[in-house]
């Protein structure tokens, strides 16, 4: 009888010990989960902790993102990004890449922002967040000066060869009107514009401010900005990963400061000789049926 009682007591003690261990294990797991949750930082918190944000840009887009005569990266978008970082109290590092790789790099977390004259569109806003616009413009096209590339309206793009990036809105416009798009990767303006001049392509559709500098840089080419076609008004902003609302808010706050104190105007006039931070006064044609 004593042996039975002793055995029961041992079993009872074992059960109590197991329950205590289970409770302790549960508490430990809860504590670990709470700690892990508290350690999960937003993108903005991570940037603040590290003291640096990474910005993708092309370095090949004259006036927006390019290398000057001293081989220094500069341009309107680059200097806006630098000033934003300065006012946020963090350093900025630029990663050079083609426009077609920028949005995937944001999505993967490889970079924090993209600054490369990227248009804010409804389709893009479904997958990414944008800052408030820091540039307003419209689209135009470069054609051959000698014959207008036989383009006198947007409808005349049908059957023409248009130079452009594979994922740009400008290429989508060209395809919308029946042009074939010839892509160049992260090439500079000379490759695009020389092809128009020598007839290997017919047209380059791009931002008015940017293309104005491209044409001016190659006075010996048989090219010009089309004098009659202004279309598709645009707004450009900094691009970031979807859902990073505190980062977006912080950027918008400093962009508002920069607009109010004249810094955006000053940077725009430095690179464009016009205030591209304000909406243009020209009459610009809207394009119907463009799914962007």
pLDDT in tens, the chain (292 residues): 444 444 334 433 343 444 445 554 444 444 444 344 446 899 999 999 999 999 999 999 889 999 999 999 999 999 999 999 999 999 999 999 998 899 999 999 999 999 999 999 999 999 999 999 999 999 999 999 999 999 999 999 999 999 988 878 899 999 999 999 999 877 778 898 999 999 999 999 999 998 998 899 899 999 999 999 999 999 999 999 999 999 999 999 999 999 999 999 999 999 999 999 999 888 899 998 888 7
What pLDDT does 165 receive?
82
Is residue 136 within 8 A of residue 237, CB to CB? The reply is no
Looking at residue 153, which CATH number applies to its domain? 3.40.190.10
- For residues 228 and 143, state if they share a domain: yes
Token couple for 61: 């887009």
Residue 256 sits at φ, ψ, to 5 deg, of -60, -45
Q: How many domains does the chain have?
A: 2
Cα pseudo-dihedral 134, 140, 192, 116, rounded to 10: 10
- Domain residue limits at 257: 44-134+237-272
Residue 279 covered by a domain: no
- In the prediction, which pLDDT does 286 show? 93
- Kindly state whether residues 182 and 144 are assigned to the same domain: yes
If asked whether residues 245 and 266 sit together in one domain, one would say: yes
pTM score, two decimals? 0.77
């Amino acid at each position: 009888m004593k042996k039975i009682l002793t055995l029961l007591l041992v079993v009872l003690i074992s059960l109590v010990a197991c329950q205590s261990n289970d409770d302790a294990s549960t508490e430990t797991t809860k504590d670990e989960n709470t700690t892990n949750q508290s350690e999960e930082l937003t993108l903005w918190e991570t940037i603040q902790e590290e003291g640096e944000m990474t910005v993708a840009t092309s370095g090949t887009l004259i006036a927006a993102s390019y290398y000057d005569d001293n081989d220094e990266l500069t341009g309107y978008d680059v200097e806006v990004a630098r000033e934003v970082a300065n006012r946020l109290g963090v350093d900025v590092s630029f990663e050079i890449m083609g426009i077609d790789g920028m949005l995937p790099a944001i999505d993967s977390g490889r970079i924090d922002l993209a600054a490369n004259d990227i248009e804010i569109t409804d389709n893009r806003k479904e997958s990414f967040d944008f800052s408030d616009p820091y540039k307003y413009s419209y689209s135009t096209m470069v054609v051959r000066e000698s014959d207008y590339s036989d383009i006198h309206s947007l409808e005349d793009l049908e059957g023409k060869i248009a130079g452009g990036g594979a994922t740009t809105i400008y290429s989508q416009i060209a395809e919308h009107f029946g042009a074939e798009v010839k892509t160049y990767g992260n090439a500079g303006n000379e490759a695009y514009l020389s092809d128009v001049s020598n007839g290997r392509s017919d047209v380059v559709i791009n931002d008015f401010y940017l293309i104005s500098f491209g044409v001016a840089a190659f006075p010996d080419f048989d090219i010009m900005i089309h004098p009659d076609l202004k279309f598709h008004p645009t707004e450009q902003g900094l691009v970031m990963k979807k859902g990073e609302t505190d980062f977006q808010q912080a950027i918008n706050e400093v962009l508002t400061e920069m607009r109010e104190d004249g810094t955006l105007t000053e940077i725009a006039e430095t690179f464009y000789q016009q205030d591209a931070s304000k909406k243009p006064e020209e009459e610009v044609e809207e394009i119907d049926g463009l799914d962007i």
